[in-house]
Each structure stands twice: as C-alpha cells, then as structure tokens.
Structure 1
Amino acid sequence: MTAPQPPQPQPPALVDFRASPEPSHDRPRPDRLVQGNPARTTWTHYGAPSGDFDCGIWACEPGAWRIAFPPGKEEFFHVISGRLRIRDEAGNAREFGPGDACVIPAGFQGVFEVIEPVRKHFVVIDRAAARPA
C-alpha cells in the first residue's frame, strides 16, 4: 500500500474584475465627517494573503470626510464614473472624473469629497498590515 500523496499546490489564478464579489458597505467615521454621511460600497476583487495589498472597485454617494493615510499605506485609483475632489491640508484641491487617475501617498492628510456619485478602481498597499510569511 502506498502512502497518500499530499495535495499539489494550485498555481495562482488570474483575478477577473468582470466577476462580482460580495460587497461590503460602510460610511465614514462620525469624527471624520465634513459633509453628509455617504454610503460607501467596496467590492474587493483581490486581497493578498500577506495582507498588504488589496484591489477592487469602490463606489460612494456625495459627501466629504477627512482622510489620514498612515506611513506605509498608499492608494492608486482610477475613476470609472462620477466626480471627486481631494483637498490637502494646505487647501490645495484637485478634481478627478472619468478616466482620471491619482496616487494618495503615505502620510497624506486632507479631505476626500465625492461631488457626484463615484465609482473607481482602487489598489491599496499597506505595508503596516503585512503579515509575516
């Protein structure tokens, strides 16, 4: 009799954004609200096993809240539809609409404002969230 063979590891699979994972829903923390209380929906299409990389689609209703990215956390996004504005602590503002892309760097603080209902692709890298291998 032969010993059972251990299962073979599966090769990594591509992540197809046409599939629709179960969404999560939230709102900005009350202590960060600037305007409104917008509902936010996130479809995380991929979360790395290490915990430091997530990507997917994010949608939000109009409203504004303060953001503070800690050291080691960065986000790239690409607007699919709608309009948003990001204002830094010095008051400088940039607007983004369909087709526009942006990186929010580690340490950034400011206000994130959704002007029109927005939908965007996102990639978040959070080195502080990484789990040891």
Structure 2
Amino acid sequence: MADDEVGKPAVFGAILSGQPLEIHRNLFEGDYGRFRSGVWQCTPGVVAMTDWPYHEFCVLLAGRVVITPEGGSPREYRAGDALVLPMGFTGTWEILETVRKYYAVQARQPLMRRVKQRVKGWLRPGARNGQAADAQAGAAF
C-alpha cells in the first residue's frame, strides 16, 4: 500500500460518523477461501460491526483505535498491539488515527461441510447413542 493511496468507503460495518476509507491487500488465501491474511488500513471514523463472520487475529502496525464490544467496556489499541476479534463480535471501532494492521481471518465453515463432518463422526467405530466417540456435550457443528 502506498502512503498516498486513497481507499474506498469502509464496508466492514455501518458507518456511524466520519468518512472512514479502507484499503486491504490479501497476501495469502487458503482452505478454499475460508482463511485469508494480509494488510488492512482505514482512516478515522466510527464503524458499528454486527456479527463479525470471522475469527480474526491482528497486529496493529500504525494508528489508534478504540474497540467497544456490545455491552462491554471500551479498550484502546495502538501500533504494536495484537488482538483477537472473535467470530460473532458485535460492537464499534472508533478509529482515532489511521490504522494499518496485519490480519489473519478464518471464516465460518459452510453448513454442508459441518454436517458431513458430524455424520462421519457418528459413523466412526466407537460412536454410540448418536454421538461421535470424541464428541463433547454442547459441542456445536
């Protein structure tokens, strides 16, 4: 990313204030598009995120952001900080200074793949009472 490159309006959530512009470069993609990593940048503004569809690990390279989970307390992150946004995250990103980060995201597994894996587990030797031998109570697909 060039320092003078202009991004597009942010689409990672609903813009609540400002005019945040984002740029991203996927540097790696795997698992049929479910896993991606790269670099992302966004200019100041406030963005509300709802039901984030990824598990995301990121390391801030530049800037400052205050992340507030719904019903939780705000926390400020700066260049050099690392954080995880869990799948399903709902809350706000208040970008105080243009943020640049490395990211790695893992998307939800398609429903049919989850069902197939569950059925294979049920059919394995040692499975009993409709549960896979290694299944745990309350485990989701």
TM-score, normalised with respect to structure 2? 0.67
Partner of 1:119 in structure 2? 100
Q: Deviations over 1:2-34 (max 9, x none)?
A: xxxxxxxxxxxxxxxxx99xx9x43234x8111
Native 8 Å contact 2:10 2:42 kept in 1: no
Poorly superposed stretches of 4+, deviation over 3 Å: 128-132
Q: Using CA pairs below 8 Å that are at least 6 residues apart, which structure has the higher relative contact order?
A: 1
The structure-2 alpha-carbon separation of the partners of 1:68 and 1:42, relative to structure 1 and needing over 3 Å to count, comes to: same
SS in 2 for 1:122: strand
Structure 1's 128 and 83: CA in aligned 2 closer, same or farther, altered over 3 A? same
Partner-residue secondary structure (3-state), 1:83: strand
| Aligned match for 1:42, one of 10, 24, 28 | 24
The DSSP-based 3-state class of the residue aligned with 1:54 is: strand
SS in 2 for 1:50: helix
The 8 Å contact of residues 50 and 130 in structure 1, kept in 2 or not, is answered as no
Task: Pick the structure with more helix per residue.
Answer: 2
Q: What count of residue pairs does the alignment treat as equivalent?
A: 110
TM-score norm. by structure 1 comes to 0.71
- Asked if 2 retains the 8 angstrom alpha-carbon contact of 1:51 and 1:130, the reply is no
Aligned identity (percent) is 31
Matched residues in 2 for 1:97 and 1:130: separation?
36
User: Cα RMSD over matched residues?
Assistant: 2.9
Which of 16, 32, 36 pairs up with 2:14? 32
1:35-79 deviation per Cα after TM superposition (whole angstroms, max 9, x unaligned)? 1121100011011151110100001100111112346x2111100
